[in-house]
Structure 1
Amino acid sequence: MSAKHIQPNRHHYTKRTLWSGLLFGIGLAAFIDETIFHQLLRWHHFYDQSTTDVGLISDGFFHAFSWFATIGGLFLFADVRRRNGLSLTRWWGGVLTGAGAFQLYDGIIQHKLMGLHQIRYVENILPYDLVWNISAVLMIITGVFLLKRSSGKGEIFHA
């Protein structure tokens, strides 16, 4: 039998399912951030340390990144599903972990350490920072819980 006909084991599918969820979660969180906070509410741009035009251009690159991550995650999802190796619990765990990790990275690294932008430019930013970062931590905790739950022997794979 050629190597082409050898079926990958379940470990291969669980890794691909996890990567699919992580990429989709990162892309989804970035897309929601960019759509709601950058475009609709106009609280900030991806890069606020220059002109509005530069901020809008940085938002365009950020938006493209979010779509590349989202589409990449969906391609992996479709591949694993087509091969009957999908665990929805593991995928949702990856989505929540990826979304929470992106949001926590954004809230700590981009907002505070790099100073690219703030959530909102108000006198008391602390409530916004707390809600942003605590919700990120809650997503990560829920995602890791689902990932641990899906790694047991009773994992169900869906066609």
Structure 2
Amino acid sequence: MRYASRNLWSGLLFGLGVVAFLDETLFHQLLNWHHFYDKSTTSIGLISDGLFHAFSWFATIGGLFMFADLRRRNAWRLKRWWSGVLVGAGAFQLYDGTIQHKLMRIHQIRYVDHVIIYDIIWNGLALMVLAAGLLMLKQTNREASYDS
């Protein structure tokens, strides 16, 4: 499959961008649980949210431009693309939940006494989405090798 990696990258960017967008919209803006960077003033938190939001849109739009090119070339492969979406979404969420929340401590999911419950749900969902994407990716790798 000549465009296998481009299908994967388009999905990865789109999945990462959409999950980052949902995180920013739901947890930062609507629920107001945290900002992207909570170790300073509210103004700095809002600026960091804006930059994070811009990043998520650049990733989403980049993935969609690649998607449109694949469609134009009749090279879009649904399963391969969705494997990328799931891997991108799960990897971003797991990175956010482990590196940003726990290692760097730039923000928590929610500032409550029993944050571990939120951590388990957040990271558990990330692992499930990532595992589903990796399983689908493995299947599409096998299918691509049969097509060659």
The normalised TM-score by structure 1 is 0.88
How far the C-alpha of 1:50 sits from its partner, in A, is 0.6
The answer as to 2:36 corresponding to 1:35 is no
Q: 1:153 deviation in Å?
A: 3.4
Unaligned runs of 5+ in 1: 1-9
Q: How does 1:1-159 map to 2 (within 5 A)?
A: 10-11=1-2, 13-153=3-143
Q: CA deviation at 1:63?
A: 0.1
Ranges in structure 2 where 5+ consecutive residues have no aligned partner: none
Instruction: Say what the alpha-carbon RMSD is for the aligned residues.
Output: 1.2
Q: Which residue of 2 aligns with 1:6?
A: none
Q: Could you tell me how far 1:25 is from its partner in structure 2?
A: 0.5
Say whether the 8 Å CA contact 2:13–2:88 is kept in structure 1. Answer: yes
Shift of residue 130 of structure 1? 0.2
**3-state SS, counterpart of residue 22 of structure 1:** helix
Task: Please tell me the residue identity of whatever aligns with 2:39.
Answer: Q
- Alignment identity in percent? 65
Question: SS of the counterpart of 1:46?
Answer: coil
| Cα distance in 2 between the residues matched to 1:107 and 1:152 | 31
Greater percentage in helix: 2
Q: Which has the larger radius of gyration?
A: 1
Aligned-pair distance for 1:152?
Answer: 2.7
